[in-house]
């Protein structure tokens, strides 16, 4: 399914469970799928404390946000495989919401980054989405899935365009980091649930995120 979803492009999975990686890659004859086993440095039960404390660390804040080697910011993923940092991802399905936001806004090339967030029925996902992905970038959603379309920092003042069912985007680089893969590809987002994101973050003004890789 995944190779067909992004035929001809790069699809990379980051996953803690080696068995899940084997399941995804098993039988893939397209050679477009790639996967790395990674270990994430934080845990779910730390989410509230991390959200309270990140603003006191300059390495977490604009204009100094970056990921590779950034061990001062506990929200960043500093030790991912090199190709994660070197690739400009067109679509990110990532449970590491802060890092997905930094990747999207540090994009150097043209275009927007589509970020799909699963399990938005949980308070942690909703809160982190509000804080880092920003409600102005929320373009669609259905069920437990929200779709954000994030411009690079140089274009952040513009509102993200709505997704169109008549002209779905073609994704060439797809980064997935999820321990609970959806049963269908995340392209059929229908509803724009802006009313569920009530409070904007100070991390989300037009000049919010820039910096180096």
Tell whether 9 is covered by a domain. yes
Tell whether 209 is covered by a domain. no
Tell whether 130 is covered by a domain. yes
pLDDT at 19: 87
pTM comes to 0.75
pLDDT at 201: 59
Mean pLDDT on 110-131 = 92
pLDDT at 167: 39
- Residue 26: give its domain's CATH number: 3.40.50
More confident residue, 90 or 9: 90
Tell whether 205 is covered by a domain. no
Tell whether 142 is covered by a domain. yes
Tell whether 204 is covered by a domain. no
pLDDT digits (tens, 9 = 90+) for 30-65: 667 888 888 888 888 899 999 999 999 999 998 779
Share of the chain above pLDDT 70, in %: 69
Please give the mean pLDDT across all residues of the chain.
Answer: 76
Tell whether 158 is covered by a domain. yes
Rounded to whole angstroms, the Cα distance separating 96 from 70 reads: 15
Residue-number span of the structural domain to which 6 is assigned: 2-196
Query: Please, which pLDDT band fits residue 93 given cuts at 50, 70 and 90?
Result: confident
pLDDT at 22: 84
Which residue intervals of 6-119 are DSSP H helices?
18-25, 47-53, 82-86, 97-105
Phi and psi of 209, rounded to 5°? -120, 125
Share of the chain above pLDDT 90, in %: 44
> Does residue 79 carry a pLDDT above 50?
yes
Peptide bond just before 63 cis, omega within 30 deg: yes
Query: Please, which pLDDT band fits residue 98 given cuts at 50, 70 and 90?
Result: very high
Rounded to whole angstroms, the Cα distance separating 107 from 212 reads: 10
Rounded to whole angstroms, the Cα distance separating 79 from 38 reads: 9
Tell whether 127 is covered by a domain. yes
Number of domains in the chain: 1
Rounded to whole angstroms, the Cα distance separating 71 from 20 reads: 27
pLDDT at 68: 95
């Amino acid at each position: 399914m995944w190779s067909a979803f992004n035929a001809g492009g790069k699809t990379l999975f980051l996953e803690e469970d080696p068995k899940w990686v084997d399941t995804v890659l098993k039988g893939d004859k397209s050679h477009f799928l790639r996967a790395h086993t990674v270990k994430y440095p934080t845990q779910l039960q730390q989410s509230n404390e991390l959200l309270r404390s990140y603003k006191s660390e300059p390495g977490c804040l604009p204009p100094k946000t970056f990921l590779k080697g950034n061990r001062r910011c506990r929200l960043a993923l500093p030790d991912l495989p090199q190709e994660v940092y070197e690739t400009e991802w067109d679509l990110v399905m990532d449970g590491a919401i802060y890092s997905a936001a930094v990747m999207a806004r540090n994009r150097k090339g043209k275009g927007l980054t589509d970020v799909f967030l699963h399990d938005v029925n949980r308070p942690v996902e909703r809160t982190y989405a509000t804080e880092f992905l920003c409600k102005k970038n929320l373009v669609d959603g259905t069920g437990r899935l929200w779709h954000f379309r994030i411009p690079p920092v140089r274009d952040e003042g513009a509102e993200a365009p709505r997704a169109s069912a008549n002209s779905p985007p073609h994704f060439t680089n797809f980064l997935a980091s999820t321990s609970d893969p959806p049963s269908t590809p995340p392209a059929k987002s229908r509803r724009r649930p802006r009313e569920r994101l009530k409070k904007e973050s100070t991390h989300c003004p037009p000049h919010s995120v820039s910096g180096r890789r």
